[in-house]
Amino acid sequence: MTLATEPASFLQVRRTQPRAARSSVSSSAVKSRVYLAMLAFACVYAAIGGRLIYLAQMDEAPSRAWISAQDSVAASRPDLIDRNGEILATDIKTASLYAEPRRILDVDEAVEGLTRILPDLDEALVRRRLESGAGFVWLKREMTPDKAEQVHDLGLPGIGFLSENQRFYPGGPTAGHIVGAVNVDNQGLSGIEKYVDDQWLRDLQSIGFASGRTMEPVRLSVDLRVQHVVRDELVKAMERYRAIAAAGIVLDAKTGEVVAMSSLPDYDPNDRSEALEKDRLNRATGGVFEMGSVFKAFTTAMALDSGAVTINDSFDATRPLRAAGRTITDFHGKNRILSVPEIFIYSSNIGTAKMMLATGVARQKEFMERLHLTKRLQTELPENAAPLLPPKWNELAAMTISFGHGLSVTPMQTAVAAAAMVNGGSLLPPTFVPRTQEEVKTLKKQVISPEVSRMMRYLFRLNVLSGSGRRADVPGYTVGGKTGTAEKIENGVYVSNKRRNSFLSAFPMDDPRYVVLVVLDEPKSEREGIGATAGLNTAPTTGAIIRRAAPMLGVMPRFGKGDEPIEISY
């Protein structure tokens, strides 16, 4: 039994030993494979980590560019509002398209997709930018939501959007020359927009305090309702009289606040490219012109204020006046002796020149300086032109200046000087922002006596009742004014068939609240057989503005007994 079992045990042992050996060899192989796999995964992760480090280093510059771009487009601007709180300019959010060229996988695919959706893009320029290897480039600013969505749906790597502030002007061109415009980076280029930048906004933006902040709106003195009326009536006048340009101003005679100002042709600040067209300049403050016979109001006031002439004086206008080889005549001469009121309402060049001569050349020059008609007018708008003075302010120049030739000024300067003629004699610098009574008291400067101002109100009103300004009359508002017709200069010579007409007015003349000035450039006769003088075009245009705007300004019509308009007398 023993011998029989031993071989079996021996055999069993012999059989089990190779299995253990084989098991040991199999376990080692498995471990090797595991280690090999771990090593492979470690290499992969190391490669991924290295790639991430490389990409992080590569993205450092684009990240800075992206942040810089985001900061610049996030800069906010304050709303511009009119005196009643109506919005003139505000910020809206818009999408702008950018690219990170280093992340672009297929330039051809990106160029084809972008130019298909945005055909206004320059294909060659887009390709150069995408192939540049730069960290950040702009492709399209201020996109519409629809276009932005279409580009987004392309799913192009390296193409993205930044949300930026875009300036929006709800009224379009209505107050374009006042509010001005901004560039694509929301920086003021002209008008009040540039004024706000120059005064404080640019400094605020430079220190990062204008990004994503809601700022207090900037209130203007402009009344949007009156602004619309002025522009609308100027558009109608240009069409009716086939004029090439026009300007209109409504000025508060007691404070110097600009209530409305329009210059045509104008532009829509929502399309800033229109502002670059040369005929769209702001003629009200940025253009200088010979204003014609409206200057006779200043000459008359000067003569009366000097004491050299009284309102009861008369001057001989029976024959032309000759000086330095030149002849001064009247357009519709009465060929007789004229009183001072007659000189004014008949717009006599001869009589006006003789009043100037009675006063003196030196006093005229000083008086024009006193009215700020000889130097650049300062307003919040950057567009303020300097007057053109005569090369020599001699007797001949003084005589022509007395009736509006030889000295070119802006329409705004004319309106400001006229306010002093009717408001009691106080000259106030114009402003496009509200002004307090304390500021008015500080800024006003007495340029003529209250008594002379009362005489001028009488003459203005008399001219509308009996002179060339009849068509400006509005029942109940005691409108007063003075017409002006100035021949234009071409190649240094006055051209008789091209004129610039104006009507300078104020209302109500018993206690003037507002000055209204209308200018039409090269108006034509409304129909065959009639002329194209200021009394036939700018006067009725002024009357239409007053008729519509006065109730908006709180000036209600007043009537005397028998429903006749209340008059003033001297």
Q: What is the DSSP string of 30-80?
A: HHHHHHHHHHHHHHHHHHHHHHHHHHHHHTHHHHHHHHHHHHHHTB--PPE
SS3 per residue for 303-357: HHHHCCCCCCCEEECCCCEEECCEEECCCCCCCCEEEHHHHHHCCCHHHHHHHHH
Q: What is the DSSP string of 409-455?
A: E-HHHHHHHHHHHHTTSEE---BSS---HHHHHHH-EE-S-HHHHHH
Tell me if 498 sits within 8 A of 490, measured CB to CB. yes
* Buried/exposed 240-250: b ≥16 CB within 10 Å, e otherwise: ebebebbbbbb
Query: What letter does residue 182 receive in the DSSP assignment?
Result: B
Q: Angle, nearest 10°, between helix axes 395-402 and 295-306?
A: 110
Among candidate residues 221, 262, 263, 293, the one labeled active-site is: 293
Measure CA 296 to chain center: 31
Q: Which tokens in the block code for residue 100?
A: 């990170």
Cα angle at 275 between 148 and 283, to 5 degrees? 155
**Whether residue 508 has a cis bond before it, omega within 30° of 0:** yes
Cα angle at 236 between 232 and 239, to 5 degrees? 140
Q: Give the H or E element holding residue 489.
A: strand 480-490
Would residue 293 show up in a list of annotated catalytic residues for this protein?
Answer: yes
Q: Determine the Cα–Cα distance for residues 10 and 8; give it in Å rounded to an integer.
A: 5
Strand-by-strand arrangement of the 258-264 sheet: 258-264, 245-252, 514-521, 493-507, 480-490
**How far, CA to CA in Å, does 37 sit from each of 26, 41, 43?**
17, 6, 10
Tell me if 156 sits within 8 A of 99, measured CB to CB. no
Active site residues: 293
